[in-house]
A and B are shown apart, each in its own frame.
Chain A
């Protein structure tokens, strides 16, 4: 088979799996798990094959036009360069892990067939985005992901949090998608083609008329999908979905799509200095804000969600300094360790019966209950905190290195201001990242208090996947940083000494400070009993998680935070903690800016409809009703009256006829 055929099969197989899963889910429940796992696994094998054949050489391009579509043709096009090949491998790898993990996690879930089919569809859409060589085709995958995320985040639709979160995810990403669509049209109008290669040629020849406008419009869509400030608010709330879905969304698919899209079309953004600065500012605000917010979260998954936002900030930061190699490198390593973090968190939530760090910090020996999760999570957190030699260190250093490279004015693509912003905030975020990683680890695994409940061994499918993911988290960076430039643009990804020392030092400082704070506050934990565990700890992990999510707000008074004085984050953040816990009131701002005006508008429309329009309608009905009442009174039932009227009319008509006939 040619590389093109293989590449076509990569997104097609999960799609067929999804269709088969939806069709056979009810009639043949025995086939649901194979149908869910095998296509994704085959797609992983094919993606690896495609990557091996492509090998970072000349990009594979193939296109066919199904039907003429007017002045700007839309083609089914593939464009596989080194980025696409490697990202597809990551997507298929994480998706396979998630599918296998889900068979254990949603073991007893009645909606597993549709869930698995949607995950397959999600994977297929992401692979389509990755391989697509045509912007319209890319948009198809982009939007399919949006709707899949809506369904998957709302998997526990019995809980109000999940319903609200799924709607929010959908609406916020759509808020970005509308300008994104307009931006795509503007881009295609300037380039006279939706083909990415031709668009890039046009950009290279300077044929773009409105680079800043297009870049900013596209940026809005990217911000929505990749959860960048100010459209990031859906991501923490999306934690109301099942943990494997969070892993999928955060590690490989949805949020990666935005970063990947910029990486693909980076020359378009580079054509506008303003867009690059905006991108840098966006990345900086996202990184710093999410780091602070992550320190204050109580829900273990929300900590991870904010960390995802922060790491995505690193990626957009790398893009803002014009180094897409670093961005995609970080995307790959982050995909591995973030998937691991989420899947391990799922195991922990199942074992602890709660998603609250405050409750976990009051459990003794949780790590002994889930040794696999403990060790792999430790690895992943070290990678997240960018401690050498874990993978996160190399990818993050490549980002910081690229930023430092720009600050010295060695790049013609990116303004030096963007470099400074990304570098400074990136270093600050390294500190914050290490701090919240340490806090998470300490609270989850170093708890004091009652013995953690024993719910038996975790399913094998769940623990094996953790170790499979631990390998790249541990070693990917170190092994790959020298070979990856060959796949990418050829830019240097080796860590530079300055940023390495600075970044690692700051990370160590963050970890140590957090540890000290934790030592200081941990005595308080025993004095303030807190915590609630799921009502059915014997159920499968999905049920436990759904109950944990549903009970968090009634028990702690909020989905995001707990009134826990033993939290080291509370000590570290001080007065900031209150604001950080609610995500710096961005939701409140949105509520004031959008929700309330929309509600008020709806109320106005409702008033106009009920009171004003309906008045006219009722008035229009009243006149015929009065007429009808008048006519009804004439219906006396007295035949003589009727005949009298009839004859009187006849006489009048006859007289009139005679008068007309005689011409009088």
Chain B
């Protein structure tokens, strides 16, 4: 295929070690570990998107994200791995669990966790997976990562890269985080303000008044 040929020629200088030197059937220890952890991660991801128990989905998500952290470690990206554990496993999943609880997600099996769109979704997902795997494998089947030597993602290396080359985007990102923080607060407060507005106005539909009054009761 010409695509593969083009990719091969493009990276001819980069990939000094060709596929004949590193066959797929001659994996090193790192590769075996990567594959095993990858299988666990993928399996956990599958369970995450298919389980009928909503809280379990969040917990399986923890497994997936943790598995990814291990993969980062295997790729010698240490800093990313710990950031992954800290932010995703530590905060994002907790946030998601809070969200589940606040929206009164049923604990236990809920039969309607998947929508009627499931089969269309499955078709699209499988089709895109097939297409992507075909393209990716075709393009990179001969590419070899040399994991020997100094780790590519140690804290020192990453810190240098960040604060030498990526300072401005890094600072901009902090502003973005601040904006997201403010936005989240405003979004949650605005709903309350709107409800108190409907509460104060006397002539409203009965359902609204019932809701408003019981909100008042909650408070």
> Are B115 and A658 within 8 A (Cβ)?
no
> Are A644 and B120 within 8 A (Cβ)?
yes
Which residues of A in the span 614-664 have a Cβ within 8 Å of any Cβ on B? Answer: 638, 640-641, 644, 647-648, 650-651, 654-655, 658, 661-664
> Are B131 and A640 within 8 A (Cβ)?
no
Q: Confirm or deny: B14 has a beta carbon within 8 angstroms of a beta carbon on chain A.
A: no
> Are A662 and B127 within 8 A (Cβ)?
no
Q: How far is the CB of B178 from chain A (nearest CB, A)?
A: 29
Docked CA distance A647–B135 (Å): 17
> Are A658 and B124 within 8 A (Cβ)?
no
Which of A641, A651, A663 has the most chain B CB within a 10 Å cutoff? A651
> Are B128 and A664 within 8 A (Cβ)?
no
Which residues of A are found within 8 Å of B1, using beta-carbon distances? 662, 664
> Are A647 and B117 within 8 A (Cβ)?
no
Question: Main SS of the interface on chain A?
Answer: helix
Interface string of B120-135 (1 = CB under 8 A from A): 1101100110010001
> Are A654 and B131 within 8 A (Cβ)?
yes
Docked CA distance A655–B124 (Å): 13
> Are B2 and A640 within 8 A (Cβ)?
no
How many of chain A's residues touch chain B, expressed as a range?
A: 10 to 19
Which residues of B are found within 8 Å of A655, using beta-carbon distances? 131
Which residues of A are found within 8 Å of B121, using beta-carbon distances? 640, 644
> Are A647 and B2 within 8 A (Cβ)?
no
Docked CA distance A664–B135 (Å): 13
Q: Confirm or deny: B3 has a beta carbon within 8 angstroms of a beta carbon on chain A.
A: yes
- Nearest to A650 among chain B residues (CB) is B128
> Are B115 and A640 within 8 A (Cβ)?
yes
> Are B2 and A651 within 8 A (Cβ)?
no
> Are B124 and A648 within 8 A (Cβ)?
yes
Which residues of B are found within 8 Å of A641, using beta-carbon distances? 117, 120
Q: How far is the CB of A13 from chain B (nearest CB, A)?
A: 76
* Residue in A640, A651, A654, A658 whose beta carbon sits within 8 Å of that of B117 in the complex: A640
> Are B123 and A658 within 8 A (Cβ)?
no
> Are A644 and B3 within 8 A (Cβ)?
no
Which residues of B in the span 112-149 have a Cβ within 8 Å of any Cβ on A? Answer: 115, 117, 120-121, 123-124, 127-128, 131, 135
* Residue in B3, B115, B120, B131 whose beta carbon sits within 8 Å of that of A651 in the complex: B131
Which residues of A are found within 8 Å of B115, using beta-carbon distances? 638, 640
Docked CA distance A664–B138 (Å): 14
Which residues of A are found within 8 Å of B123, using beta-carbon distances? 648
Docked CA distance A644–B127 (Å): 12
Docked CA distance A663–B2 (Å): 8
Docked CA distance A663–B131 (Å): 16
Which residues of A in the span 188-202 have a Cβ within 8 Å of any Cβ on B? Answer: none
Docked CA distance A658–B1 (Å): 11
- Nearest to B122 among chain A residues (CB) is A644
> Are A662 and B131 within 8 A (Cβ)?
no
* Residue in A640, A647, A650, A661 whose beta carbon sits within 8 Å of that of B3 in the complex: A661
Q: How far is the CB of B54 from chain A (nearest CB, A)?
A: 17
Which residues of B are found within 8 Å of A651, using beta-carbon distances? 124, 127-128, 131
Which residues of A are found within 8 Å of B120, using beta-carbon distances? 641, 644, 648
Q: How far is the CB of B66 from chain A (nearest CB, A)?
A: 28
Q: List 26 A-B contacts (CB under 8 A).
A: A638-B117, A640-B115, A640-B121, A641-B117, A641-B120, A644-B117, A644-B120, A644-B121, A644-B124, A647-B124, A647-B128, A648-B120, A648-B124, A650-B128, A651-B124, A651-B127, A651-B128, A651-B131, A655-B131, A658-B3, A658-B135, A661-B2, A661-B3, A662-B1, A663-B2, A664-B1
State the A residues within 8 Å of B (CB).
638, 640-641, 644, 647-648, 650-651, 654-655, 658, 661-664
Additional 13 contacts, C-beta under 8 A, given A641-B120, A662-B2: A638-B115, A640-B115, A641-B117, A644-B117, A644-B121, A644-B124, A648-B120, A648-B127, A651-B131, A658-B131, A661-B2, A662-B1, A664-B1
Q: Which 8 A-B pairs have the closest CB atoms?
A: A640-B117, A644-B120, A662-B3, A651-B128, A648-B124, A647-B124, A651-B127, A662-B2
